């Protein structure tokens, strides 16, 4: 793990909770884009001290973002689709990574160039349905970092 991932900046934009959310977010990165690409994946590792739900994400890089899951469908083809939230069980590491859960940044406002940095703002909900936001710093990494993007379901294609 890189040293910079331990230096994440946590920015608390709302005060719905008495305390800051008990969330550890590390190794956040965004896949760099090729020319003309409208969407890309964002990834990070999360661990919460209490049950939380990731219900949304924002980034200055993108006009919209979705939480996606990637699964092998009945026909044996791996596809990804949007899910309304991602549960973060207490004291359990949840990895958002290529080939699994990930954040899809959509309608990109600018190319994501390797070596540059951006931010991901995570919208979290606790058991009492209070929401709070945490912003983490993310490195943009080369297009060929780890697995390639698989095809989306036709439903997703309409919005990507
Ligand atoms: Cu996706």
pLDDT digits (tens, 9 = 90+) for 115-125: 999 999 999 99
Residue 125: what are its φ and ψ, rounded to 5°? -125, 135
pLDDT tens for residues 18-74? Answer: 667 789 999 999 999 999 999 999 999 999 999 999 999 999 999 999 999 998 889
Residue 11: predicted pLDDT: 41
Tell me the whole-structure pTM to 2 decimals: 0.78
The whole-angstrom separation of Cα 134 and Cα 123 is 7
Closest Cα to residue 57, out of 141, 117, 118, 143? 118
What is the band of 17 on the pLDDT scale with cuts at 50, 70, 90?
A: low
DSSP letters along 137-149, please?
EEEEE-TTSSSPP
Report the length, in residues, of the chain: 160
pLDDT tens for residues 71-117? Answer: 888 999 999 999 999 999 999 999 999 999 999 999 999 999 999 99
Tokens matching residue 44: 């990070």
Closest Cα to residue 7, out of 113, 116, 99, 139? 139
What is the band of 151 on the pLDDT scale with cuts at 50, 70, 90?
A: low
CA 80 to centroid of ligand 1, rounded, Å: 5
CA 121 to centroid of ligand 1, rounded, Å: 17
Closest Cα to residue 108, out of 40, 47, 52? 40
CA 151 to centroid of ligand 1, rounded, Å: 9
CA 81 to centroid of ligand 1, rounded, Å: 6
Fold of 3-159: Immunoglobulin-like (2.60.40)
Residue 146: predicted pLDDT: 60
CA 32 to centroid of ligand 1, rounded, Å: 14
Neighbours of ion ligand 1 (CB under 5 A): 68, 80, 104
Residue 22: predicted pLDDT: 84
The whole-angstrom separation of Cα 69 and Cα 85 is 10
CA 68 to centroid of ligand 1, rounded, Å: 5
């Amino acid at each position: 793990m890189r040293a910079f991932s331990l230096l994440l900046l946590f920015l608390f934009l709302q005060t719905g909770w008495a305390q800051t959310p008990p969330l550890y977010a590390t190794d956040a990165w965004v896949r760099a884009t090729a020319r003309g690409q409208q969407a890309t994946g964002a990834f990070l590792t999360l661990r919460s001290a209490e049950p939380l739900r990731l219900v949304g994400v924002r980034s200055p890089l993108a006009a919209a973002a979705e939480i996606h899951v990637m699964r092998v469908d009945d026909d044996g083809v791996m596809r990804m689709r949007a899910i309304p939230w991602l549960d973060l069980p207490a004291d359990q590491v949840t990895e958002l990574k290529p080939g699994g859960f990930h954040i899809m940044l959509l309608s990109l406002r600018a190319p994501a160039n390797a070596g540059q940095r951006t931010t991901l703002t995570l919208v979290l909900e606790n058991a009492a349905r209070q929401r709070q936001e945490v912003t983490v710093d993310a490195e943009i990494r080369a297009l060929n970092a780890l697995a390639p993007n698989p095809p989306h379901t036709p439903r997703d294609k309409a919005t990507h």
